[in-house]
Amino acid sequence: MAATGNLSTGFREETLIRAMEGADFLGCDAGSTDSGPYYLGSGNARGPREGTKRNLRLMLREALKAGIPMIIGSAGHAGGRPHLAWTLEIVRELARENGWHFPLTSIDSEVDKEVLLNAFRRGEISPLCPAPDFAEQTIASAERFVAMMGIEPIQAALKAGAQVIVAGRCSDVAIYAALPVLEGIPRWVAFHAGKILECGAASAEQRPYPDCMIAELEQSGFTVDPPNPAFRCTPQSVAAHALYETADPYHLVESGGMLDTTQAQYKTVSDRAVRVTGSRFVPAAKYTVRIEGAALAGYRSVVIAGIRDPLVLRQLDRFLASLRTVVERKIASNLGLGPDAYTLQFRIYGQDGAMGALEPTPRVEGHEVGLVIDVVAATQELAADILPLVWHTGLHHPIAEHQGLISNFAFPFSPPGLNAGPVYRFCVNHVWELRDPCAPFPMKMEAV
């Protein structure tokens, strides 16, 4: 049973209780790379802490009552050591507050730089496509790396008697496939069911709010059956879920092999349940895990400014190009920095702010524009020093049609500038070939 698609988003308590009837285990994914590299880079968990605690409390209560395993994957969003610690602290706090006692198993997925460096030197790291360049320097300059575990480390924990498992970075599918495969369910059944379950109730036809989902697995297929009576799965809704956030709807690459759903059949078995058969699991020649890493790219300061003057708007690109030239000169003379030492971007909402270079109509068609002046530099102080040179120069930057001092920007805030903190970037899209699928994922058991 999947409690929900993401631990922070929640589920209905009554659905959870209903879904527990007959459940063999309870899982939940807590992470993603979807919200960008910040969480992995900074080590901060993506909360909210209170919401996460509420969801964990209900899940723990039900799992302990039923005596079944509970598996959390990608703890704290990015699955690094600080994210795992953040989640474990909430679990321990809940145990203390509720007088619960159970064996708690954590699985670490952060990869130390020396370990990765040695793997790289042994030729075990290879790029996916597209991938940033990867070299020894990439490892040295990154903030943090995690490896994405497959089913094996979770299975090792289950074999060792774990009841509550909090795993670092983990394949979403592995959360749900680990135990069934251990119990003798074919991989294609377990992996395909895991793919459907990992988003909770998202495979239902309409999902007005996040909620739980159940799959019943056997040798010849599985049945998806939403425990919330208001939700309904259809063959189309379950099949369509394979499209969401996947580059290829038919081939899902996982550690240890690939799930091929080309021949999958989806059939209605009740007014709400759908049976799935016919997928294949193709074992990989080499066992690999995906590596994720984030590096510090600098510190950001921004200004938001409205532009309403039609004469400025009709020459906006020229205006900003000429502003850039003046500003680069000022930054060079005032701060001694060439344009390579910082990134200055004019993000023009009303022109191409959302799509950037992919915008097919990069021109202003409305009566106003939202301009975000975005500076990224090596330190926060430097970004904060550069920013006023840009906005103050731009504020009074002349155009030929107005003779005399003008003010081009409508700032909604005083002071106009905001310091946005560190900026990270994903610095790897690579896989690591492993002889032992559990080697980078040490587990620790504690009695709470």
Partner 1 sequence: MPELWELTKLIRSKNAGPFELTFDIMFKNREAFDNALNSGKISAPTLARLYKVEQKQMRYFVIPELLTVKISIPRQAFSGDVRDTDVYGGQFHGPLVRLPVGKFTRK
Here the tokens at position 439 are 């080697």
Distance CA 280, CA 417 (A): 55
Q: Mask: binding to partner 1, 45-64, rule CB under 8 A, as x and -?
A: --------------------
Distance CA 196, CA 208 (A): 18
Nearer to partner 1, 247 or 285 (CB): 247
Distance CA 100, CA 448 (A): 8
What is the closest distance, in whole angstroms, from the C-beta atom of residue 64 to partner 1 in the complex? 35
Here the tokens at position 325 are 């030239």
137 binds partner 1 (CB under 8 A): no
> 414 burial class (0-12, 13-18, 19+ CB within 10 angstroms)?
exposed
Distance CA 192, CA 115 (A): 32
422 binds partner 1 (CB under 8 A): no
Q: Which stretch binds partner 1 (CB under 8 A): 80-88, 193-201, 236-244, 276-284?
A: 236-244
Q: Which stretch binds partner 1 (CB under 8 A): 1-9, 75-83, 198-206, 245-253?
A: 245-253
17 binds partner 1 (CB under 8 A): no
206 binds partner 1 (CB under 8 A): no
What is the closest distance, in whole angstroms, from the C-beta atom of residue 351 to partner 1 in the complex? 11
Distance CA 276, CA 221 (A): 6
Nearer to partner 1, 297 or 445 (CB): 297
Is 149 in contact with 109 (CB distance < 8 Å)?
Answer: yes
Sign, CA torsion 127/132/136/138: negative
Is 30 in contact with 53 (CB distance < 8 Å)?
Answer: no
347 binds partner 1 (CB under 8 A): yes
Here the tokens at position 85 are 């610690």
317 binds partner 1 (CB under 8 A): no
236 binds partner 1 (CB under 8 A): yes
345 binds partner 1 (CB under 8 A): yes
65, 67, 215 from 234: Cα distances, Å: 32, 32, 14
Here the tokens at position 424 are 């990270």
135 binds partner 1 (CB under 8 A): no
249 binds partner 1 (CB under 8 A): yes
Nearest to 264, CA basis, from 253, 277, 275: 277
Sign, CA torsion 24/30/34/40: negative
245 binds partner 1 (CB under 8 A): yes
What is the closest distance, in whole angstroms, from the C-beta atom of residue 84 to partner 1 in the complex? 21
Q: Which stretch binds partner 1 (CB under 8 A): 4-12, 123-131, 173-181, 223-231?
A: 123-131
Q: Which of 322, 343, 380, 393 binds partner 1 (CB under 8 A)?
A: 343
Nearer to partner 1, 103 or 429 (CB): 429
What is the closest distance, in whole angstroms, from the C-beta atom of residue 393 to partner 1 in the complex? 22
Nearer to partner 1, 85 or 420 (CB): 420
244 binds partner 1 (CB under 8 A): yes
> Alpha helix (H) ranges present in 211-272?
235-240
Per the listing, tokens 């239902």 go with 204
What is the closest distance, in whole angstroms, from the C-beta atom of residue 283 to partner 1 in the complex? 23
Distance CA 386, CA 190 (A): 54
Q: Which of 132, 278, 306, 370 binds partner 1 (CB under 8 A)?
A: 132
358 binds partner 1 (CB under 8 A): yes
Here the tokens at position 15 are 């659905």
What is the closest distance, in whole angstroms, from the C-beta atom of residue 121 to partner 1 in the complex? 25
DSSP 81-99: HHHHHHHHHHHHHHHHHHT
Q: Which of 9, 61, 426, 439 binds partner 1 (CB under 8 A)?
A: 426
Here the tokens at position 151 are 């089913």
What is the closest distance, in whole angstroms, from the C-beta atom of residue 348 to partner 1 in the complex? 10
Q: Which of 13, 14, 22, 35 binds partner 1 (CB under 8 A)?
A: 35
How many chain residues are in contact with partner 1, going by CB under 8 A? 43
Is 166 in contact with 75 (CB distance < 8 Å)?
Answer: yes
320 binds partner 1 (CB under 8 A): no
Give me the residues that bind partner 1 (CB under 8 A), please.
33-38, 128-132, 236, 239-240, 243-250, 297-298, 343, 345, 347, 352-361, 376, 423-426, 429
